[in-house]
């Protein structure tokens, strides 16, 4: 009896309003993954990638009618879709007795683990890469709302392989924007140094704040896509970021003590790693992202963030390289009511327990503090019972030995505590873990979550 792999993945956005969320086309995710391809071949699996409702081509309505019927865009209904799909697949393939393993990255990893909790009779196990299921209010231990920004900052320091002066110069760049943004003359200097387009209006403090948020978002995305190889994943397949893009972005900010126009010119070049990936933009319009492909998807994630995906994010300018941005649930709820007519449900995603779930993450990922370590170190009844190939950067086929060493230590300890049999393999370019708890020859279905 064959195994089935079904893929569901969604990139995790970090800011509700300003940050676009890059909900990726299912084929882009399909071509940027490694683990499920390796596992499917080993188990003789059928590999299926299922698209999340409302994203990609899976839209229940067309035109303006879609925007007027957003109430059907929920994680619960998406999981129910997958459960129905599995039932039909099993029937069509005459594989009713085959177990199912779910996989996914980021939001897709959240769906994989939640589906294992909600539908344990449908999903027999889950492999969740960089799944920030600990990022919601009401968890114990409580979420650190500043965790994401801290890891983004780490990637812009020597600890992440970046220039020593980068994070400090960025802190000063925001201060420079605020200082010059307070008057017409200063805003003129900003527009010149940042090479803003003539149509990019910069006439008041609010405009300057929006510009700063736009620039900040670039670093968030560069951290989330800080892969050790060139990748088109963060750009919706419409361009390629260099290997270790955060390091590339930090190069224009590598001189100690940068100030004034030189500092903002450095900021302009740094954010160009993301926004001007082609190198062909003559100027910047801070109301636009790197390409238009993700705008609709970003809008839909905005709706999800206003209903169920209420994940607190804050920055303080001390533990991170940004400026003070406290989390304010009341203000957030007011924005959601004005934009969508909905009230956030901040405690929707509280976790109880899950078995047969494996949580993996990369060492440089901003979701680092919202994922597996917090889960696996608590007294909740989380039990790891299935181990497959694990890479340091999540579900891709690339890895780095230094990073893998730390994960190997953790996984060996976990495996020992759960009586798992673990075999580790390490080479100069790849580090992986394989093995199972129980009968490794048991046939099954590997279900993965790829949203669009």
Task: Name which of 167-171, 251-255, 300-304, 370-374 the model is least confident about.
Answer: 370-374
Give the whole-angstrom CA distance, residue 82 versus residue 6. Answer: 9
Pairing mode, strands 431-436 and 386-387 = antiparallel
- What pLDDT band is residue 365 in, cutting at 50, 70 and 90? low
Count other Cβ atoms within 10 Å, centred on residue 37. Answer: 17
CB 384 within 8 A of CB 376: yes
Q: What is the CA radius of gyration of the chain?
A: 22
Share of the chain above pLDDT 70, in %: 73
Give the three-class secondary structure for 22.
coil
Give the three-class secondary structure for 100.
strand
pLDDT tens for 265-324 read 999 999 999 999 999 999 999 988 887 766 777 788 899 999 999 999 999 999 999 999
Provide the pLDDT for residue 364: 54
Q: Higher-confidence residue: 192 or 386?
A: 192
Instruction: State how far Cα 234 lies from the chain centre.
Output: 10
pLDDT at residue 20 tops 70: no
- What pLDDT band is residue 204 in, cutting at 50, 70 and 90? very high
pLDDT at residue 19 tops 70: no
Give the three-class secondary structure for 236.
coil
Give the end-to-end CA distance of the chain in Å, rounded to a whole number. 28
């Amino acid at each position: 009896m064959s195994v089935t792999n079904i893929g569901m993945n969604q990139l995790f956005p970090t800011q509700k309003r300003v940050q676009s969320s890059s909900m990726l086309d299912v084929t882009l995710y399909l071509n940027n993954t490694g683990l499920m391809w390796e596992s499917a071949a080993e188990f003789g699996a059928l590999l299926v990638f299922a698209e999340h409702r409302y994203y990609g081509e899976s839209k229940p309505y067309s035109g303006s009618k879609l925007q007027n019927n957003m109430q059907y865009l929920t994680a619960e209904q998406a999981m129910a879709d997958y459960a129905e799909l599995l039932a039909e697949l099993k029937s069509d393939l005459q594989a009713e007795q085959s177990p199912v393993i779910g996989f996914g990255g980021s939001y897709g990893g959240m769906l994989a683990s939640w589906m294992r909790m909600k539908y344990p009779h449908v999903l027999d196990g889950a492999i969740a890469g960089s799944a920030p299921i600990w990022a919601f209010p009401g968890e114990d231990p409580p979420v650190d709302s500043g965790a994401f920004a801290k890891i983004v900052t780490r990637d812009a320091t020597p600890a992440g392989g970046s220039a020593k002066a980068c994070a400090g110069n960025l802190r000063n760049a925001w201060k420079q924007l605020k200082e010059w943004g307070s008057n017409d003359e200063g805003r003129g200097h900003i527009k010149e140094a940042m090479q803003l387009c003539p149509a990019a209006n910069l006439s008041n403090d609010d405009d300057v704040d929006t510009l700063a948020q736009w620039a900040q978002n670039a670093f968030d995305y560069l951290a989330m896509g800080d892969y050790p190889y060139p990748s088109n994943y963060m750009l919706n397949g419409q361009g390629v970021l260099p290997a270790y893009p955060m390091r590339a972005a930090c190069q224009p900010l590598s001189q100690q003590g940068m100030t004034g126009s030189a500092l903002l010119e450095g900021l302009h070049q740094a954010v160009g790693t993301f926004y001007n990936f082609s190198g062909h933009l003559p100027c910047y319009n801070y109301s636009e992202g790197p390409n238009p492909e993700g705008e609709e998807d970003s809008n839909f994630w905005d709706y999800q963030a206003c209903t169920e995906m209420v994940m607190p994010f804050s920055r303080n300018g001390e533990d991170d390289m940004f400026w003070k941005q406290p989390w304010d649930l009341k203000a957030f709820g007011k924005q959601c009511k004005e934009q969508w007519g909905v009230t956030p449900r901040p405690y929707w995603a509280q976790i109880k327990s899950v078995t047969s779930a494996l949580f993996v993450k990369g060492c440089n990922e901003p979701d680092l503090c919202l994922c597996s370590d917090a889960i696996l170190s608590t007294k909740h009844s989380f039990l790891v019972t299935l181990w497959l190939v694990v890479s340091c950067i999540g579900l891709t086929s690339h890895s780095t030995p230094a990073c893998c060493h730390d994960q190997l230590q953790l996984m060996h300890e976990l495996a020992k505590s759960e009586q798992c049999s673990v075999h580790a393999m390490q080479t100069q370019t790849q580090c992986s873990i394989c093995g199972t708890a129980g009968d490794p020859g048991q046939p099954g279905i590997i279900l993965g979550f790829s949203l669009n």
